[in-house]
């Protein structure tokens, strides 16, 4: 494992790619992507933008317009951990099982798997100890879908 590495998990529709990819920042072409703040992987929290910039592998920016830092542990069974950087592709809709950033009632944002259930939406955590959120579909606005997960790894 190289020093100064990033571990990347690519999203493939509703699942993670089969193998993580190691990126060495010293040799991989990097570029700046807007870091729009944090998103809760737990109870929805007030959406507060804190714009900044983050360096990501250049080849990933084709699939994302901005990044968010994960706060919380509700998505650990999907290998999304507290402190991870997630890359987001904005879109108005998503299929069942996709990992999304959703805004509830225009103010509280959360990172969950999305399931359409008639007039309701289920926002499902990937953590066996947590219950899903069920909210009226009209109360949910999709911010975007997760296209990649980046984790900084210190080499030993």
Q: Residue 95's pLDDT is what? A: 93
> Is-catalytic flag, 125?
no
pLDDT in tens, the chain (156 residues): 445 566 666 655 545 565 677 778 788 899 999 999 888 887 776 666 667 999 998 988 888 999 999 999 999 888 889 999 999 999 989 999 999 999 999 888 999 999 999 999 999 999 999 999 999 999 999 999 999 888 887 655
> Is-catalytic flag, 5?
no
Phi then psi dihedrals of residue 5, to 5 deg: -95, 155
The single residue listed with the structure tokens 């959360």 is: 110
Q: Residue 6's pLDDT is what? A: 62
Q: Residue 1's pLDDT is what? A: 41
Tokens of 6: 């990033």
CB distance 120 to 134 below 8 Å: yes
Q: Residue 88's pLDDT is what? A: 94
- Taking Cα atoms as reference points, which of 145, 137, 155 lies closest to residue 94? 145
- Radius of gyration in angstroms for the set of CA atoms belonging to the chain, rounded to a whole number: 15
Helix (H) or strand (E) holding 7: strand 5-12
Which residue out of 102, 112, 133, 146 is catalytically annotated?
112
Which residue out of 5, 9, 40, 74 is catalytically annotated?
74
Tokens of 156: 């030993």
Q: Residue 46's pLDDT is what? A: 64
């Amino acid at each position: 494992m190289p020093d100064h590495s990033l571990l990347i998990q690519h999203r493939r529709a509703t699942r993670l790619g089969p193998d993580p990819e190691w990126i060495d920042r010293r040799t991989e072409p990097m570029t700046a992507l807007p870091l729009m703040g944090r998103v809760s992987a737990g109870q929805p929290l007030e959406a507060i933008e804190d714009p900044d910039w983050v360096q990501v592998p250049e080849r990933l920016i084709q699939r994302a317009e901005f990044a968010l830092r994960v706060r919380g542990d509700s998505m650990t069974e999907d290998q999304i951990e507290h402190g991870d950087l997630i890359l987001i592709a904005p879109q108005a809709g998503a299929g069942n099982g996709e990992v999304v950033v959703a805004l509830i009632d225009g103010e509280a944002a959360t990172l969950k798997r999305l399931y359409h259930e008639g007039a309701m939406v289920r926002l499902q955590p990937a953590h066996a100890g947590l219950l899903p959120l069920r909210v009226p579909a009209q109360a949910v606005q999709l911010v975007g879908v997760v296209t990649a997960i980046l984790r900084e790894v210190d080499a030993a």
